[in-house]
Chains A and B, each alone.
Chain A
Amino acid sequence: MALSRRYFLKSAGLSLFGAGFVPPFLRRAAFALEQPGSSARKKILVAVFQRGAADGLNTVVPFGDRAYYSLRPTIAIAPPTSRSDSEGQGAVGLDGFFGLHPSLSSLKPLFDQRHLAIVHAAGSPDSTRSHFDAQDYMETATPGRHSTPDGWLNRYLEAVPLAEATPFRAVAFAPRMPVTLLGPAPALVLDDVRNFRFRSMDSLGHTAGPSPLEAGFEAMYASTADPLLDRTAREMFEAVSTLDRIGLADYQPASGAQYPNGPLGKSLRQVAQLIKADVGLEVAFAEVGGWDHHVNEGGVQGQLANSLRQFGDALAAFHQDLGDRMSDVVVLTMTEFGRTAHENGNRGTDHGHANVMFALGGPVKGGKVYGPWPGLGPGDLYEGRDLALTTDFRDVFAEVAVRHLGAVETQTIFPGFSVSSARFRGFLS
């Protein structure tokens, strides 16, 4: 849906500024509209962070590794079975060695159609088992360093500036700005696109144009010398007026896609809406919590199964909803570390090391589990307890940044890490 330039001029309340003075953010947006090709058909990355250290070993099950079953006597997922009466009782086979947790069965067709790739035994080389330290390290892509002030995707935005960027270039669906997008480059934080508006001003008795309240707020913030408030306000006002114009309340996902009701489904549904609305979205971030299953994680049924069902169904619905547009989109999932190879005494698992990452999208060379498998034998485990690492998460991030988003210079995006395509796993063409 094209946005008319006239709309922006009208909603800016030009009467406030007088003819001739157009605030910088409007000039930027107006420019984008006059070059319709410039903000359309860009490559899009959707980063999904599972907060709480999701259990990779029960997500993509190494049923071909016998040690898996002796390590997890009660919560292991059984190998795939061809018996139809035990559907949902065992892993969904992928390649004869790995299988998906049965709650992720909606991802199986995507794997078979080669849209979904998996990188196993991936993660951070740092040994911390502190959730928030590890999340910080992953979001700043500087494991071991507490002092990094910005997130890797914000550094990408700075490294690849866009003259005609709209405020929707980077959008996070989170209660606060996630560290991943923290930094000097502008990024929007949205809670709900349907609700991202000013509350009704009807009782103040206006009829036409923006209410004096909105115009007054806008003018105040435009004149403030407070740089943080000024910048944030500009992005917020433009986002509100754009979303209002697009009218996202009655969105119907395409192709019968049905997003599950949880937070990830809700976020991805909105990401899809923004993509289709062509507002210039390039980097989206969503997060989902509740993975820290120290107690009663469960196997085929249980807490993890429930979380995975929401997770898989949300990704599958997103894929279905976007349809052809997935050719420009990559969804990358990540979590701060894995969990212990063995179960603990509470039918759960404790903090571990390496984990699993998913890459979903048109450009993905799917249908394969990438990364050497280190094994789960006693001598193979990291510190005698965890899945060992064979892929640094920064190599996965870098492959996406270089091969999908087209970043050329990676030194600033991944400081202290030398990116080499020789180490890319090759899940992107």
Chain B
Amino acid sequence: MPESRLSPQLADSHIDWDKPLRDQEKAAHLASRITFGPRPGDLDRVRATGLDALLDQQLHPERLDDRAMEERLAGLPTLSMSTGELMQRCPDPHQLQRRQSLAKGFATPHPGGEAGPDAAAMSMAPLTEMGQFGDTPREVLAELGREELLRAVYSTRQLQEVMVQFWMNHFNIFAGKGPDKWMLTSFERDTIRPRALGRLEDLLVATAQSPAMLFYLDNWMSSAPGSEWCGPFGARPRFFPARLGTWQRFGPPPALRNQPLTGGQKRGLNENYGRELMELHTLGVNGGYTQKDVTEVARCLTGWTIYRPRQEAEFYFNPRLHDTGEKTVLGHRIEAGGMQDGLQVLHLLATHPSTAQFISTKLCQRFVADDPPPSVVQRTSGEFLASKGDLRAVLKTILTSPEFYSQASYRAKVKSPLEIVASTLRALDAQTDGGPQLLRLIARMGGPMFLYQAPTGYPDRAGTWISSSALLGRLNLASLVAQNRVPGTTVSLEAAAGGAASSPAAQAETVDRFSRLLMGTTLSGGSRKAILNSLAGDEGTAGAAGGGFAALPAMAALVIGSPEFQRR
């Protein structure tokens, strides 16, 4: 077994991308990047069948049997519900109260309608059906978080899960914004997951049409000036019930009636999504678009909205909201009209060289290093354009590149909170239900799921995950898991360790066994020495009957909490 080394990036400030990894390190390296960490025996299997076989297998998840995964998720009912069902069956407590009041006749519907003409239908539903499911929106999100964690730990389609997490972050949606908390389940299941290893353009179109994104970035209420929703009184679409406002009765205030419409202020047009689509989802902030392009893209996407937002909450193109005029985006004339305008823009963006560059950079950040060398980014970008955004081809380029298999990439990335939890549980062959304590620990480590407020998503850099409180969270994770103090999760350390260790020599052997289990190699000299010293210095372990077992949780915790294990 090779003795482990720290990434040379740390020991030496000059990063040399030309030094290749030793053969024995490649399996651990590939596994740590395209899976959530090796399970016992995984690395031996990979060394036997070869790196190419592993990569090929993971690039074709459809060939992998994952039925056991689906069985594990069977007990989480919200995962298969539509957004409409979730809204109906998991209302906010005060909404439930209101519905019940309406149904019982204790309250009258608002004149503008609770949600339009369907309020009557909703208020007629028997009380027994409303809210009886018992979940609140928070529990809906907890169940979704649990699914992500369980899949990371147990799915055979590991690279697919890695990519689902990548895209959920790239197309970040904040669950705290209004009804997005009910929309994320479908977003993950119907929008992202089926396309995680497909073509970027398909992902773009699907996210552009997802109610979750339409609401989060406000495109659902973007409309052309003069369109029906932006009628004579400047009325705006409403998502939540409201009384008829002053504007509906009397029109906009005098101060505004004669306001000239300046660029970007066209009443009704909302540029939020148009801007983020280019800045964050495709071209990147330096991708070469202008403010005018933002406005034009927004015009193209008017009409892309949500049908019956409180019932089905589905994508719907409303031609009456659409700006039918001619537009110019990035020098291209868009004149088809209708929904085709938006599709044309999405195609333009999906195939743009800046998009190839931006997406390739982010993928290289995920798979190679926080600051990947330009060589691999360029090569990947070329493949992106040549393959028209085929993510499998793009990933294969990265994951077979010399930069990927270089010493500079080895353990260069800090694991995200989800990654450290999943890799710990996989390495220890844990039995887990993915329960709430684990999600709380992930939040404590600075990465609460679905709660990053900005559409940028969590930055994929070491500094995002390393702070005093996050590090304390990681060490606590290590000790809680090792001591089997996480409800719903059990690990068997004796099995992992292969028995008790009472003599110092046996302890050293056990520590080495744990570290090979968790990382594929032994720890650095400094870490190893520190661990053995601390065990030797503790009277509780030396000599006492059965004292060897007391040391096992400590040893496991120390390895899980080691600086090396924080990296992949």
Which residues on B sit within 8 Å (CB–CB) of A199? 476, 479-480, 485
Interchain residue pairs with CB less than 8 A apart (17): A71-B253, A175-B443, A176-B446, A176-B470, A196-B469, A201-B479, A213-B557, A217-B561, A219-B533, A232-B468, A233-B471, A236-B469, A289-B453, A295-B178, A345-B235, A345-B236, A383-B265
Q: Does B543 contact A (CB under 8 A)?
A: no
> Can you name the residue of chain B whose Cβ is closest to the Cβ of A221?
B563
In the docked arrangement, what's the CA distance between A344 and B476, Å? 48
In the assembled complex, how far is the CB of residue A217 from the closest CB belonging to chain B, in whole angstroms? 5
In the docked arrangement, what's the CA distance between A404 and B87, Å? 52
Which residues on B sit within 8 Å (CB–CB) of A175? 443, 446, 448, 469
Q: Does B260 contact A (CB under 8 A)?
A: yes
Q: Does B553 contact A (CB under 8 A)?
A: yes
- Beta-carbon contact of A236 and B476 below 8 Å: no
Q: Does B192 contact A (CB under 8 A)?
A: no
In the docked arrangement, what's the CA distance between A70 and B371, Å? 52
Residue of B444, B446, B464, B563 contacting most chain A CB atoms (<10 Å): B563
**Chain A interface residues toward B at CB < 8 A:** 13, 15-16, 51-52, 67, 70-71, 73-74, 130-132, 146, 167, 175-177, 182, 188-191, 196-199, 201, 203-207, 211-213, 215-217, 219-230, 232-233, 235-236, 239-240, 289, 294-296, 342, 344-347, 378, 383-385
**Complex partner residue of B475 from A132, A198, A223, A385, CB under 8 angstroms:** A198
The 9 tightest CB contacts between A and B, nearest first, are A223-B526, A216-B534, A345-B236, A219-B530, A189-B467, A212-B538, A236-B468, A132-B454, A224-B563
> Can you name the residue of chain B whose Cβ is closest to the Cβ of A186?
B468
Q: B interface, how many residues as a size bin? A: 35 or more
> Can you name the residue of chain A whose Cβ is closest to the Cβ of B467?
A189
- Beta-carbon contact of A130 and B538 below 8 Å: no
**Complex partner residue of B6 from A52, A131, A217, A226, CB under 8 angstroms:** A226
Q: Does B463 contact A (CB under 8 A)?
A: yes
- Beta-carbon contact of A216 and B469 below 8 Å: no
- Beta-carbon contact of B530 and A203 below 8 Å: no
Q: Does B328 contact A (CB under 8 A)?
A: no
**Residue-by-residue, is B542-554 near A (CB-CB < 8 Å gives 1, otherwise 0)?**
0010010010011
Which residues on A sit within 8 Å (CB–CB) of B245? 74, 345, 347
> Can you name the residue of chain A whose Cβ is closest to the Cβ of B550?
A205
Which residues on A sit within 8 Å (CB–CB) of B469? 175, 188-191, 196, 236
Given contact pairs A175-B446, A345-B236, enumerate 8 new A-B contacts (beta carbons under 8 Å).
Answer: A16-B533, A131-B454, A196-B472, A205-B547, A212-B541, A225-B524, A345-B235, A347-B245
> Can you name the residue of chain B whose Cβ is closest to the Cβ of A16?
B533
In the assembled complex, how far is the CB of residue B561 from the closest CB belonging to chain A, in whole angstroms? 6
Q: A345-B235, A345-B245 are in contact. Are A217 and B475 (CB under 8 A)?
A: yes
In the assembled complex, how far is the CB of residue A399 from the closest CB belonging to chain B, in whole angstroms? 29
In the assembled complex, how far is the CB of residue B10 from the closest CB belonging to chain A, in whole angstroms? 5
Q: A71-B255, A182-B463 are in contact. Are A204 and B563 (CB under 8 A)?
A: no
In the docked arrangement, what's the CA distance between A225 and B444, Å? 25
- Beta-carbon contact of A215 and B476 below 8 Å: no
**Complex partner residue of B253 from A70, A131, A189, CB under 8 angstroms:** A70
Which residues on A sit within 8 Å (CB–CB) of B550? 204-205
In the assembled complex, how far is the CB of residue A153 from the closest CB belonging to chain B, in whole angstroms? 15
Q: Does B205 contact A (CB under 8 A)?
A: no
